[in-house]
């Protein structure tokens, strides 16, 4: 993948994402490095209007700084009853530097406010989807590969599960009768927005490498 041997740099500071990328790339013999391994690099301002814009901002900033290909992930939760919010603002729904717990509480309070006056004990508050856009940027060729994945579910007022990260305990999958946080890493990878985007990106990369003889190799 790059001149530093079997290393893949992912432009993220999200430890939950890092765990999922490590799990996905270990079978390919790739060791994942995150922004925690490059603490001197400045944070990227995620002010794009779309997941794709933000993913590209992150992969390009870090790729240009390090001079080798870098993968970035911009993702979030789009809730139908909230007209698609929090979307690109998912990480800071409850404010800059909000914790996952604070974001989850904010989501439940917004949805429960909408349901006020309704005489129902139904725990499923709204349909929603997780979306993930991946951007792999090569600063030498200046080429970008992208892939997007999504998964449909419901926001439940009854959080459950200790796996995953972010909004996973509130994201209910009716087919599995479980929240995303109740799945194993393996199961999440098979159905998640990130898992789907990763499989698409890998397929695109393989096709490109076969056609062109590789991303930049030194």
Ligand X SMILES: O=P(O)(O)OP(=O)(O)OP(=O)(O)OC[C@H]1O[C@@H](n2cnc3c(O)ncnc32)[C@H](O)[C@@H]1O
> Which residue ranges make up the annotated binding site for substrate?
12-17, 75, 165-168, 188, 193-194
201 token code pair: 């990106």
Binders in 81-110 for Mg ion, by CB under 5 A: 91
- Work out which of 130, 137, 154, 172 binds ligand X, going by CB under 6 A: 130
DSSP per position, 154-167: EEESS---SSS-TT
C-alpha 136/C-alpha 69 separation (Å) is 7
CA atoms within 13 A on the CB side of 27: 5
Q: What is the CA radius of gyration of the chain?
A: 18
Closest residue to ligand X: CB criterion:
166
Find the shortest distance in angstroms from Cβ 77 to ligand X: 6
- Close Cβ partners of 110 (under 8 Å, ≥ 6 residues apart): 82
168 in contact with ligand X (CB under 6 A)? yes
Catalytic entry in 64, 73, 74, 97: 74
Report phi then psi at 216, rounded to 5: -60, 130
Mark whether 74 is an active-site residue: yes
166 in contact with ligand X (CB under 6 A)? yes
Give the three-class secondary structure for 24. helix
Binders in 95-114 for ligand X, by CB under 6 A: 100, 103
Residues interacting with Mg ion, by CB under 5 A?
Answer: 46, 91
Residues interacting with ligand X, by CB under 6 A?
Answer: 12-14, 17, 46, 73-77, 90-91, 100, 103, 130, 164-168, 192, 194
Residues annotated as part of the active site: 74
């Amino acid at each position: 993948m790059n001149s530093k041997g079997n290393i893949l740099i992912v432009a993220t500071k999200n430890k939950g994402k890092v765990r999922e990328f490590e799990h996905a790339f270990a079978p390919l013999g790739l060791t994942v490095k995150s922004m925690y391994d490059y603490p001197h690099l400045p944070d990227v301002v995620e002010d794009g209007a779309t997941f794709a814009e933000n993913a590209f901002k992150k992969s390009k900033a870090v790729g240009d700084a390090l001079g080798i290909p870098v993968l970035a992930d911009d993702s979030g939760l789009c809730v139908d009853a909230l007209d698609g919010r929090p979307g690109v603002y998912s990480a800071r729904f409850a404010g800059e530097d909000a914790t996952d717990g604070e974001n989850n509480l904010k989501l439940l309070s917004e949805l429960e406010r909408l349901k006020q006056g309704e005489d129902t004990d139904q725990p499923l508050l709204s349909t929603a989807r997780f979306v993930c856009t991946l951007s792999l940027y090569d600063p030498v060729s200046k080429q970008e590969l992208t892939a997007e994945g999504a998964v449909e579910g419901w926001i439940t007022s009854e959080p459950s599960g200790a796996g995953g990260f972010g909004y996973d305990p509130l994201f209910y999958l009716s087919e599995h009768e479980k929240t995303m946080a109740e799945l194993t890493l393996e199961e999440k990878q098979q159905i998640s927005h990130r898992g789907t985007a990763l499989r698409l990106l890998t397929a695109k990369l393989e096709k490109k490498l076969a056609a062109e003889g590789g991303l930049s190799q030194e």
